[in-house]
Amino acid sequence: MLVALAIAVLLGVKAYQASRSAATTLPLTIRQITTWPGMDTNPAFSPDGESIDYSSDHNGNFEIYLR
């Protein structure tokens, strides 16, 4: 019983340390990606994190844009 508890605690500590890796603790830079008048909504990152898509009405109709 004690060994199982020790293993559970060790796995919990490892999971906590993995969630605080350098990739999640680095400062982020916020940058404006649109400049036209209109409403830009529903942003979402691509699965690889390289691009972002959003909907915008800058031409009068809502359309989906990939940037």
Q: How much is the pLDDT for 1?
A: 63
Range of the domain at 17: 2-66
Write down the pTM of the prediction. Answer: 0.51
Total number of domains in the chain: 1
d(CA 53, CA 64): 7
Q: Residues 4-43, buried b or exposed e (16+ Cβ, 10 A)?
A: eeeeeeeeeeeeeeeeeeeeeeeeeeeeeeeeeeeeeeee
Ordered mean pLDDT values, 10 residues apiece, the chain (67 residues): 73 72 67 84 88 88 89
Q: What is the pLDDT of residue 14?
A: 78
